[in-house]
C-alpha cells in the first residue's frame, strides 16, 4: 500500500496537494528543497574556510562536489534525526562518509547544527519568497489592467454588506491592486547568514572566524550578520509577519470576489473550463473555486505565524525546543502563502466582469445611494439637519410606497429643485468623487514598484 506523507515539510502532493500546494511554491519548500539548502550551506562553509586559509582549497572542492542532493535520502536522514533532534547531524555524518579521505576531516568545520539549519532556512525562504512575489506581481498586473479597463464601470459601493454610495469596478480593482502590491514589497526573506559555532563565539575557528563568516555569507549571496543570531529570532518573526500580511491581502481580495460572484449579486464570474467550479451534486453550479481555494490557503497563515512569533522566546545561547519548533510552521507558512497567491492569480486571470449586472444592482434601490448628495445640495438652503431630515423622510416614503425616490423628492421639495435637477443629483455617474484620480495613483504606484523591482533585479544580476 502506498504510504501517506506524514510531515507538512514533505514534498507537495497527496490528497490535499491540489489545493494546498498550488503553483510553483511547493517545489521550493519540500524535503528536496530543504536538503538542497542544507547541502548548499555545507558547500559554502567549506569554500569559505578555504578562502580564509583554514582548510586546503582542494579539500573544500572535494566537499562541495559531494554536496549533491541526489546522493542523499531525505527520508532516511529524517528518521535518523530523532537521535540528535535535528537533521544536520545525520546529514553531516553521511556527507563525511561520502567525501572520504583527508578532506572528510573538514566537513562542517567550525559550525554547529543550527548554523547550517538556520542558513538553510534562509535559503529556502528566499527561494520560496521569490516565487510568491512573482505570482503576486502577475496578480498586480492583472488588477492594474482591470482597474484601467473598468474605471467608468459603475457599481454599488457596499459598507456593512449594504449598498452605500456608487463606485466603479475600476476603483475596486485599484484598491485590490494597492493591497497586493504593498504586501508583496514586504515579502523579503531574511538575507542573513548564520555562523556562530557551538555557543555563538566561533571559538573553534580562532582569529579566522570573522573572515570565514564574511566568506560564507558571500558564497551564498547573503549578508554577513553583525553577530550570530542563534536566539534572536527577529528575522524569522519579520518573515512570518510579511507572509501573514500577504495572506491577509489575498483573503480580502478573494473574499470580495466570492461575494461579488454570489448568485444574487452576479457581478463577476470565474470563467473556467469544463468541470471548473462544479459541484458533486448540483450540475448548474459555477463556484468561484480559485478564489475559494485562495481563501482556504490564506486562512491558515495567522495560526502558523503565531507559532513562529511564539518561538521568539529562546533561552541563553541555544534554545531547547523553540528553535526546533520553527521548521515545519515556516515551511507550511511559505507553502500556504505561495498557494494562496497562485490561486488568486488563477482567479484574476479567469475573472469576467458583468457591467450590466453591476448597473442593475445599483439601480435596485431607485436612487437611494445618492441620498447623501441631495442632502449636500440642499444644505446651503435649508441647513444641514433640516436637509438631512427631509431627505431621510423622502427615502422612507419611497421605500414604503414603492415610488421612485426622484418623484418623492420633487414633490416634497415643492419647487426648491426641478425634477431635472433632482434626477441629475440622483445620477450615480456624477457622484464618484476622486475615483478616477485614485485609480491613476494606484496604477502609477504599481508601475513604480515594477520599475524598482526591475532595477533591483538588474543590480543583483550584475553583481552575480
DSSP three-state, residue 189: coil
Q: What span, in angstroms and rounded, lies between the C-alpha atoms of 308 and 304? A: 7
DSSP three-state, residue 194: coil
| Residues belonging to the chain | 464
Q: Whose CA is closest to 145, among 446, 438, 455, 450?
A: 446
Phi, psi dihedrals of residue 155, rounded to the nearest 5°? -155, 165
Joined grid coordinates for residue 232: 534572536
Q: What span, in angstroms and rounded, lies between the C-alpha atoms of 427 and 373? A: 10
Q: What span, in angstroms and rounded, lies between the C-alpha atoms of 160 and 214? A: 55
Joined grid coordinates for residue 267: 457581478
Q: Where are the alpha helices (DSSP H) in 261-314?
A: 289-298, 301-310
Q: What span, in angstroms and rounded, lies between the C-alpha atoms of 331 and 304? A: 10
What residues pair up with 352 in beta bridges, in sequence order?
269
Q: Are 14 and 36 in contact (CB under 8 A)?
A: no
For residue 157, what is the enclosing H or E element?
strand 154-159
DSSP 397-419: HHHHH---HHHHHHHHHTTSS-H
Q: Are 115 and 49 in contact (CB under 8 A)?
A: no
- Catalytic residue numbers, as ranges: 279, 318
Amino acid at each position: 500500500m502506498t504510504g501517506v506523507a506524514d510531515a507538512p515539510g514533505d514534498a507537495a502532493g497527496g490528497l490535499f496537494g491540489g489545493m494546498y500546494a498550488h503553483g510553483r511554491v511547493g517545489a521550493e519548500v519540500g524535503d528536496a528543497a530543504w536538503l538542497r539548502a542544507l547541502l548548499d550551506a555545507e558547500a559554502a562553509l567549506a569554500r569559505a574556510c578555504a578562502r580564509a586559509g583554514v582548510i586546503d582549497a582542494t579539500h573544500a572542492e572535494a566537499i562541495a562536489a559531494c554536496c549533491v542532493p541526489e546522493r542523499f535520502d531525505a527520508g532516511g536522514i529524517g528518521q535518523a534525526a530523532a537521535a540528535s533532534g535535528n537533521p544536520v547531524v545525520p546529514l553531516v555524518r553521511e556527507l563525511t562518509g561520502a567525501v572520504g579521505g583527508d578532506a572528510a576531516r573538514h566537513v562542517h568545520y567550525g559550525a554547529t547544527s543550527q548554523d547550517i539549519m538556520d542558513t538553510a532556512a534562509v535559503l529556502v525562504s528566499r527561494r520560496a519568497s521569490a516565487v510568491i512575489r512573482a505570482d503576486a506581481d502577475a496578480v498586480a498586473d492583472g488588477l492594474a489592467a482591470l482597474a484601467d479597463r473598468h474605471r467608468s464601470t459603475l457599481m454599488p459601493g457596499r459598507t456593512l454588506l449594504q449598498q452605500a454610495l456608487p463606485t466603479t469596478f475600476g476603483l475596486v480593482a485599484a484598491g485590490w491592486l494597492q493591497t497586493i502590491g504593498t504586501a508583496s514589497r514586504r515579502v523579503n526573506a531574511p538575507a542573513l547568514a548564520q555562523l556562530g559555532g557551538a555557543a555563538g563565539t566561533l571559538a573553534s575557528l580562532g582569529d579566522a572566524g570573522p573572515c570565514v563568516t564574511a566568506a560564507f555569507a558571500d558564497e551564498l549571496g547573503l549578508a554577513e550578520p553583525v553577530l550570530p543570531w542563534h536566539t534572536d529570532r527577529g528575522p524569522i518573526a519579520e518573515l512570518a509577519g510579511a507572509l501573514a500580511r500577504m495572506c491577509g491581502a489575498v483573503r480580502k481580495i478573494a473574499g470580495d470576489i466570492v461575494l461579488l460572484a454570489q448568485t444574487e449579486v452576479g457581478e463577476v464570474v470565474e470563467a473556467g473550463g469544463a468541470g471548473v467550479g462544479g459541484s458533486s451534486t448540483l450540475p448548474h453550479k459555477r463556484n468561484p473555486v480559485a478564489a475559494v481555494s485562495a481563501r482556504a490557503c490564506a486562512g491558515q497563515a495567522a495560526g502558523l505565524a503565531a507559532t513562529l512569533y511564539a518561538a521568539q522566546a529562546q533561552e541563553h545561547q541555544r534554545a531547547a525546543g523553540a528553535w526546533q519548533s520553527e521548521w515545519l510552521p515556516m515551511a507550511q507558512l511559505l507553502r500556504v502563502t505561495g498557494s494562496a497567491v497562485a490561486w488568486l492569480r488563477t482567479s484574476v486571470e479567469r475573472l469576467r466582469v458583468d457591467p450590466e449586472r453591476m448597473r442593475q444592482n445599483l439601480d435596485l434601490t431607485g436612487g437611494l445611494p445618492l441620498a447623501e448628495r441631495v442632502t449636500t445640495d440642499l444644505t446651503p438652503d435649508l441647513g444641514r439637519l433640516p436637509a438631512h431630515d427631509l431627505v431621510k423622510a423622502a427615502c422612507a416614503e419611497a421605500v414604503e410606497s414603492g415610488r421612485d425616490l426622484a418623484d418623492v423628492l420633487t414633490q416634497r421639495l415643492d419647487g426648491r429643485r426641478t425634477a431635472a435637477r433632482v434626477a441629475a443629483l440622483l445620477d450615480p455617474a456624477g457622484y464618484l468623487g476622486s475615483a478616477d484620480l485614485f485609480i491613476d495613483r494606484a496604477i502609477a504606484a504599481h508601475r513604480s514598484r515594477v520599475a524598482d523591482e526591475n532595477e533591483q533585479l538588474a543590480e543583483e544580476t550584475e553583481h552575480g
